[in-house]
Amino acid sequence: MPYVKIELTREGVTREQKQQLIKGVTDLITDVLNKDPQLTHVVIQEVNLDDWGFGGEQVSVLREKGITADKK
């Protein structure tokens, strides 16, 4: 029973995008590991920008400064 947890910041990911992630991850695990897709669990957890940080600062503050992970 594969279990995959995807954590991302809460920034307007749509229901359709989440479905694409769930399907894509499930298909990948099925193709690569030959696992039954009916037994593959994918969880998407959205995290508030205030609750996620890198480089010693909250992502909410970094966004206000116009900084993203690839710019720091």
Instruction: Locate 67 and state its tokens.
Output: 């900084």
Count of CB atoms situated within 10 Å of the CB of 62: 20
Q: Determine the 3-state secondary structure of 33 from DSSP.
A: helix
- Residues designated catalytic: 2
Say how many C-beta atoms besides its own lie within 10 A of residue 35's C-beta.
Answer: 15
